[in-house]
Amino acid sequence: MDIINSLKIGQNISVQINDNGINLKNGGYVADENGNRFKILSVAMINNHKRLIDSNAELLLAGDVNNIGKKLYTI
C-alpha cells in the first residue's frame, strides 16, 4: 500500500493509503519497506464518495513514526 499523505499527531501518525483498508483491523500491525512495524490504532474511510471509499483509507498508527517509509505491508 502506498502512503499518499501523512500527518504526525502527537506521538502517532495518520496516513492516507491507496487501499480500501477492508482487511486492516484496529489492533493489527503493518510494516514499511524498511522493516519498521506499526500498530494500527484506527482504520477509517476518508470520504463519502464511492470511488474514494473503494480506493483509499486513513490509518492512525503508533510506532517509530519519524522513520516511516513510503509503502506499508500487512503482517
pLDDT of residue 49: 57
Q: What is the DSSP code (8-state) at residue 28?
A: -
Beta bridge partners of 60: 14, 42
Dihedral sign, Cα of residue 24, residue 27, residue 29, residue 30: positive
pLDDT of residue 50: 58
pLDDT of residue 65: 92
pLDDT of residue 32: 98
* Digit-coded pLDDT (tens) for 27-63: 999 999 999 999 999 998 765 555 555 678 999 999 9
C-alpha 36/C-alpha 31 separation (Å) is: 5
Cell 513510503 maps to which residue? 70
The reported pTM is 0.87
Question: What whole-number percentage of the chain has pLDDT above 70?
Answer: 88
Q: Which amino acid is at 68?
A: I
C-alpha 22/C-alpha 74 separation (Å) is: 12
